[in-house]
Amino acid sequence: MHHFHHKKISLLTAAVIATFYANGPLAAVKGLALEEIVVTAQKREQNLQDVPVAIQAVLGEQMRASGIEKMETLAPTIPALHVSEAFGGDQIFLRGLGPGVNFGFEQAVGQVVDGFFYGRSRFSRLQFLDLERVEVLKGPQGAIIGKNTTAGAINITTAKPTDELEGWLTLAEEFDGAEGESYEGAISGPLSDTIKARLALRFEDKDGFLENKVTGSDDQSRDDLAGRLSILFEPTDSFSALIQYGFSDIEREGRNIQPIHCTAQMVSVLAANGIQEDCKLNGTRSTTDKRNGVGGFEFQDTEASTFGLTLEWELENMTFTSLTGYAEYEYIDAGNATYTGIENFQIDIEEDYEQFSQEFRIASNGGGTVDYIVGLFYQEHELDSILDLNIGTLGPNTINRNRHVATEQDGETIAAFGQVTWHLSDQWDITLEGRYTKEDKDGASVQFPAALFERVQVPGPGSGGPTGVFNVHDVKGNRSESDFSPGLVLQWRPTDNAMYYLSLKKGFKGGGFDHQLVANQTDAVDGRFEFEEEEVVSVELGGKLDLADGAARLNFSIFRNEYDDLQVSTLIGPATFSVGNAASAITQGAEADLQWRVTEALTISATLALLDAEYDEFDQAPCSQFQIANALCASGFQDLSNKPLQYAPDYSYNITAEYIWPLSDRLELIGFVRVYGEDEKELALDLDPVDVQDSFTKVDARITLADVEGRWQVSLIGRNLDDETTMGFANDINFFNGSHFGITEAPRSAILQATFRF
């Protein structure tokens, strides 16, 4: 892509120059050391600068100060990370890699909370609640974290019970943008000499930011409640038991989806239905709120709960850890399939999921020539999904089609993993790691005509069925796969302030079943129901440097990932996604992250990611509906070889500055500004030119009046101050070939926020 190699060389040159100047001009700053950041990326507490992985860590206090309450708000500030809502699921992409939209896909970016692995994208919608930090681990993490981390992992650590009674409360009022309020707080402390507890709650009640001209409301409104109770039992200095229970109840009305391009046919149909839709990406939409005369059908409801028991025994030379976890959620997405006010084009998506997991591991306590961690992991899950689709008539040559697809999947995963590090000398370490995984899955899918929302089954395959039903199937499948994901890491510490590493790793993401399959019986049996596992081989060269007597840090990495059987999903028909394995893809790039406390008052940071992500070979890619309608895809396929991946901008960046003005012995004023942006990126796999997000730059800022002892602070927060209009997801509206919809991201917003601590 263009000047990528020159960019990579320039970034490496900058890192070398920074190393050269470590004892030069920057070293003149004394006594301003940055605070050490502790991470658990490798299942043990370590200094960020000692971990041979590309990590960007954000502290909970920093997120709360900026009003960042969910993954979608954090992601734009992390270069190379993309998180956005899509119908029925979320898009989580890192360095250009993610699975796309299908209920059967597990994530390429694994999610870990307090050591518990969650493989479903829906968990990303749960609110950030009383967090200690979020770590974004870039690149395959298969050996230590596990499968389904071919692109990376998001490692979240929540705040734990404290020895002393303490608490905090944050009140926020958003008066521009998605207007409304939110409340979050926690209280923590001892219940006895051996028991401590922590309770955290968050409530949010906000309007949306898209003006709906039909209903007069603002879409998408939010009414969310989340909580977590943690109890820590420490009867001795060497044993602890942590029990955690969390819940979330997420209710959304309306959607932040709008048509962004309409064909003449669609404009004509809209006009015939009396709908005033401008078909532009802006702050308005025209979508009815009626379903056959009944209001309020566009909504999302998610109810989730998690339970975790963590036991730790610290022995003389090692620590034994047991993690027992359970998680479940159920959700329903309901919406208009044309994303307009045309009635009788409706989709309902339901999903129920539950998982149980058990992990045992033993880790050395450090201080010897060899450090190690070994463990066993077990997980089982049940996944049920339902897709209801009602396609109304558009004219005399079309028919009304109701479709009901119900899919069940059960899975069991067993894995053994380990990592051994030899400290060859004060300067050199070598690490060998690996994970063996065996996974079994059973799936079954039934598609039949149904009265929408009545769950009335009519005769199935072989019975003839009613006239006008094109695809009917009743299929079953089972999969059994195993994989060994090894890794080799070499570390070099030429000085106490510099660490360089070279890593070679392999990862994989399990195969599965298409939960949105709408093929006929023959095609379904012939293999359309199943897709294969995805594999990646990664090489990365990186460095972590402490500069200016600890007042600055510069971390950088250069990487290349080669993917085989890349799992992809593209929209090919009404609520229909073609699911399969692309031949191969290559992502390569360079990243740098600088933090510098310039003076006692001024701290700056800058992160840059350069990316070149393309299909190496993909000559059987599905055509877009626009290509099919205009006879531009005669073979039935298009060749995407050497074409860019989705969500893979050539560059993305984030620059921040914070300045503290002392006002008195008791008060201080804090100013903060963030400038972030990225190059243009493809939002749809078929690379339709309409589904492209242009390059953009956004600016956030806040001003805070605070008590110097940290007891209270009041902030005025502004996001997207230039009011840039951007999309997080876009695709075809297949009922009108050549028309497109987009999911609009938040416009300019202003928040008044107060935090109190005791």
Higher local confidence (pLDDT), 574 or 457 = 574
Res. 397 pLDDT band, cuts 50 70 90: very low
Residue 702 buriedness (CB in 10 A; 0-12 / 13-18 / 19+)? buried
> Distance between CA 502 and CA 491 in Å, rounded?
7
- Least confident piece of the model among 421-435, 473-487, 734-748: 734-748
Res. 653 pLDDT band, cuts 50 70 90: very high
- What does the block give as tokens for 48? 């960020």
pLDDT tens figures, 470-527:
567 889 999 999 999 999 999 999 999 999 999 999 999 989 998 888 777 777 777 7
Contacts of residue 442, defined as CB under 8 A and 6 or more positions apart, other chains included, come to: 409, 410, 411, 476, 477, 478, 479
Residue 172: helix, strand or coil by DSSP? strand
CA distances from 215 to 287, 290, 341 (A): 7, 9, 10
pLDDT for 571 beyond 70: no
> Distance between CA 734 and CA 755 in Å, rounded?
48
pLDDT for 277 beyond 90: no
Sign of CA dihedral 333, 108, 157, 115: positive
pLDDT at residue number 72: 87
pLDDT tens figures, 150-184:
999 999 999 999 999 999 999 999 999 999 999 99
Most confident option among 203-217, 629-643, 657-671:
657-671
> Distance between CA 140 and CA 138 in Å, rounded?
7
DSSP at 524: I
pLDDT for 437 beyond 50: yes
Higher local confidence (pLDDT), 689 or 297 = 689
Res. 387 pLDDT band, cuts 50 70 90: confident
Q: Kindly write down the DSSP assignment for every residue of 367-401, as one continuous string.
A: -SSEEEEEEEEEEEEEEEEEEEEEE---STT---E
Res. 580 pLDDT band, cuts 50 70 90: confident
- What does the block give as tokens for 126? 């749960």
pLDDT tens figures, 114-132:
999 987 878 877 778 999 9
By residue count, the chain amounts to 758
- What does the block give as tokens for 662? 């002392």
Most confident option among 46-60, 263-277, 278-292, 502-516:
46-60
What is the mean predicted confidence (pLDDT) over 283-301? 66
pLDDT at residue number 8: 42
pLDDT at residue number 505: 96
pLDDT at residue number 79: 94
- Element spanning 174, H or E: strand 166-176
Res. 454 pLDDT band, cuts 50 70 90: very low
Answer whether 88's CB lies under 8 Å from 585's CB.
Answer: no
Domains of the chain: 4-215+230-291+304-326+341-381+395-757 (2.40.170.20)
Res. 701 pLDDT band, cuts 50 70 90: very high
pLDDT for 317 beyond 80: yes
Res. 275 pLDDT band, cuts 50 70 90: confident
pLDDT at residue number 341: 64
Query: What b/e string do you get for 625-638 counting C-beta neighbours within 10 Å, with b at 16 or more?
Result: bbbbbeeebeeeeb
> Distance between CA 23 and CA 516 in Å, rounded?
59
What is the mean predicted confidence (pLDDT) over 107-111? 89
- Least confident piece of the model among 69-78, 91-100, 270-279, 385-394: 385-394
What is the pTM for the complete model shown? Answer: 0.90
> Distance between CA 329 and CA 301 in Å, rounded?
10
pLDDT at residue number 194: 97
Residue 299 has phi, psi (to 5 degrees) of -160, 165
Higher local confidence (pLDDT), 622 or 244 = 244
- Least confident piece of the model among 343-347, 463-467, 474-478, 665-669: 463-467
- Least confident piece of the model among 161-175, 337-351, 420-434, 577-591: 337-351
Sign of CA dihedral 553, 559, 563, 567: positive
pLDDT at residue number 297: 65
What is the mean predicted confidence (pLDDT) over 259-264? 89
The share of the chain scoring above pLDDT 70, in percent, equals: 87
pLDDT at residue number 570: 66
- Least confident piece of the model among 34-43, 140-149, 221-230: 140-149
Answer whether 619's CB lies under 8 Å from 603's CB.
Answer: no
Higher local confidence (pLDDT), 11 or 380 = 380
pLDDT for 291 beyond 60: no
pLDDT for 698 beyond 80: yes
Residue 240: half-sphere exposure toward Cβ, Cα within 13 Å: 17
> Distance between CA 172 and CA 185 in Å, rounded?
12
What is the mean predicted confidence (pLDDT) over 289-300? 58
Most confident option among 90-104, 280-294, 355-369, 574-588:
355-369
DSSP at 498: E
pLDDT for 345 beyond 80: no
DSSP at 450: E
Higher local confidence (pLDDT), 405 or 322 = 322
Mean pLDDT across the chain: 86
